[in-house]
Amino acid sequence: MTISVGDTLPDVKLVKVTEGGPEQVQSSEYFKDKTVALFSVPGAFTPTCSARHLPGYVDKAAELKGKGVDEIVATSVNDAFVMGAWKEAAGSDDVTMLADGNADFAEAVGLAADFSGFGMGKRAQRYSMIVENGVVKELNVEEPGGFSVSSAEHLLGQL
């Protein structure tokens, strides 16, 4: 079942990319007591994700924070080392990378997708959400191949 507005995020382990290396976090604790702009991509370094999705959040970070967002989080079904390299390539500390290497989070929120036809296996759909104290306040899931409602610009309009 797909997560909906008003639902609490499921409690699963994710891996946060830090300067000191990968750090396991529990989603229930991580999203507690803050407002988070969360976006998910099918894969770090993939064309749309690298050329448009992540750069949009990097460019709009100050505006998002100016509208009450405490943290901007990107998640993908990649390991923490790939997510760390992607963050380094993007050149921004404004986006926290949470690796979902086993797709546990993607499955738990009901937004996993099969990208086997592209040789990528199980991934997450492209989406964005506003999460307040662990509760989904806005949810924007893209149609397959689409990129509009999960953009930073769209999320800004919802704040």
Strands 127-132 and 35-41: antiparallel
Spatial distance between the Cα atoms of 8 and 19, rounded to a whole number of angstroms: 29
Taking Cα atoms as reference points, which of 80, 100, 84 lies closest to residue 27? 100
Instruction: Give the total residue count for the chain.
Output: 159
Residue of 41, 49, 97, 152 marked catalytic:
49
Let me know: does 108 contact 75? Beta carbons within 8 Å.
Answer: no
Q: Is 113 a catalytic residue?
A: no
Question: Which positions are catalytic?
Answer: 49
